[in-house]
Amino acid sequence: MPLEQLLSSGIALPITRWGNPVLHHACQPVVKFDPDLWNLLCNMFATNTAADGAGLAAPQIGVDLAVFVYDCHDAFGRRRQGLVCNPRITLAVDPELETDHEGCLSLPGAYLPVARPNFAICRGQDQFGEPVTVKGTGMLARCLQHETDHLSGIVMEDHLTASERRALRRQHKRVAASYPDDWPVSPMLPR
């Protein structure tokens, strides 16, 4: 199924929250590039769109599979959309770190500065199993790293100090009631 179709069909699913075991272990590799995978990708794109996300990894909708989708801008303001199965991140030699606020759809409403390299190359496979390489700058670089982390069982707070983790959890706790358990299937509630 071509990317245009993956982007335009599918239904939003509830996003899995931090603490669920599927978010905290390495995912199974994608080995079948078939209509079941394409249906999953359609739903992942729909869920990411409904949540107004930059990217979404399969475990964030409860699926133990090494694939993510992305829909965000790079450092040049270009909108980039796509997916990567079985991703591997390669960083530039001596990359410059860029600190920016980062959040996670699986801990909605909480953001803290996280330093990440400002350029990343992500290699993997597309929806047909063919090799794919995505080079990212700016938000796209951050997204590629964040989503690949998810597939290794790493969540954003694993990059933070203990005090930063507590601050992130406090932020989330203040707004958690605005996010129904089935969000983004059900919209956010007023704060």
- Which residues are CB-neighbours of 107 under 8 A, at least 6 positions away? 17, 18, 155, 156, 157, 168, 172
Domain residue limits at 108? 3-177
Given a cut of 80, whether residue 9 has pLDDT beyond it is yes
Task: Name the DSSP letter for residue 1.
Answer: -
pLDDT average, residue stretch 10-24: 97
**Number of domains into which the chain is organized:** 1
Q: Which amino acid is at 102?
A: E
pLDDT more than 90, % of the chain? 95
Which two structure tokens, joined as six digits, stand for 182?
A: 């089935």
Residue 115 lies in a domain: yes
Write the DSSP assignment of 151-184 as a string of letters: HTT--GGGGS-HHHHHHHHHHHHHHGGGS-TTTT
Task: Name the DSSP letter for residue 145.
Answer: H
Q: Which amino acid is at 159?
A: H
pLDDT more than 70, % of the chain? 98
pTM above 0.85, yes or no: yes
pLDDT value at residue 75: 94
Residue 189 lies in a domain: no
Whose tokens are 């992305």? That residue is 70
What are the start-end ranges of the H helices in the chain?
Answer: 3-8, 35-50, 138-151, 162-175
pLDDT digits (tens, 9 = 90+) for 39-76: 999 999 999 999 999 999 999 999 999 999 999 999 99
Given a cut of 70, whether residue 131 has pLDDT beyond it is yes
Residue 95 lies in a domain: yes
CA pair distance 52, 101, nearest whole angstrom: 16
pLDDT value at residue 146: 97
pLDDT value at residue 92: 65
pLDDT value at residue 96: 86
For residues 40-50, one letter each, b for 16 or more C-beta atoms within 10 angstroms of the residue's C-beta and e for the rest, the string is bbbbbbbbbbb
Given a cut of 80, whether residue 90 has pLDDT beyond it is yes
Residue 96 lies in a domain: yes
pLDDT value at residue 93: 64
Residue 137 lies in a domain: yes
pLDDT average, residue stretch 97-124: 95
Residue 30 lies in a domain: yes
CA pair distance 101, 66, nearest whole angstrom: 25
CATH at 121: 3.90.45.10
- Which residues are CB-neighbours of 157 under 8 A, at least 6 positions away? 18, 107, 164, 165, 168, 169
Residue positions annotated with a catalytic role: 147
Beta bridge partners of 116: 98
Residue 187 lies in a domain: no
Given a cut of 80, whether residue 29 has pLDDT beyond it is yes
pLDDT average, residue stretch 147-163: 96
Across the chain, what does the average pLDDT equal?
96
Residue 183 lies in a domain: no
Q: Identify the burial level of 1 via C-beta atoms within 10 angstroms of its C-beta, where 0-12 means exposed, 13-18 middle and 19 or more buried.
A: middle
pLDDT value at residue 18: 95
pLDDT value at residue 95: 78
pLDDT average, residue stretch 121-144: 97
